Amino acid sequence: MTPYLTIALTSLVAYLVAVRRLGMRPSDLPRAVAGVADSLGTGVIFTLVNLAAAGTLVLGLRALTGRFFTLYSLDDVVWLVVSLLQGWLWRLWRDVPRAS
């Protein structure tokens, strides 16, 4: 319960600071939440593609060399973290205004 309460409290404080001190509009919050959801969705897609490519590489190496290569390397949180960062970067890059 503690993480949920802590996150709720810090979110409330961040909201109050943003609205009262930084002049941000509450009406812009849904668009920001949609952007986060878009980034997470893109990150999930990158995660699936990265894991599928790595799994294919491992299985291909097994087939080509006849040696055993483990799939345990795919069981690492780094895949998720880096893939989510890829999704976030992709979203930010996509939203950069293009020169005419």
The CA angle 51-73-86, to the nearest 5 degrees, is: 40
pLDDT of res. 58: 94
Instruction: Please report, as a single letter, which amino acid is at residue 64.
Output: L
Distance separating alpha carbons of residues 7 and 13, to the nearest angstrom: 10
Paired tokens of 90: 């992709």
Neighbouring residues of 91: CB distance < 8 A, sequence distance ≥ 6: 35, 38, 39, 42
- Give 86-97 pLDDT, tens digit per residue: 999 999 998 888
- Give 28-56 pLDDT, tens digit per residue: 999 999 989 999 999 999 999 999 999 99
Neighbouring residues of 25: CB distance < 8 A, sequence distance ≥ 6: 19
For residue 100, pLDDT over 80 is answered with no
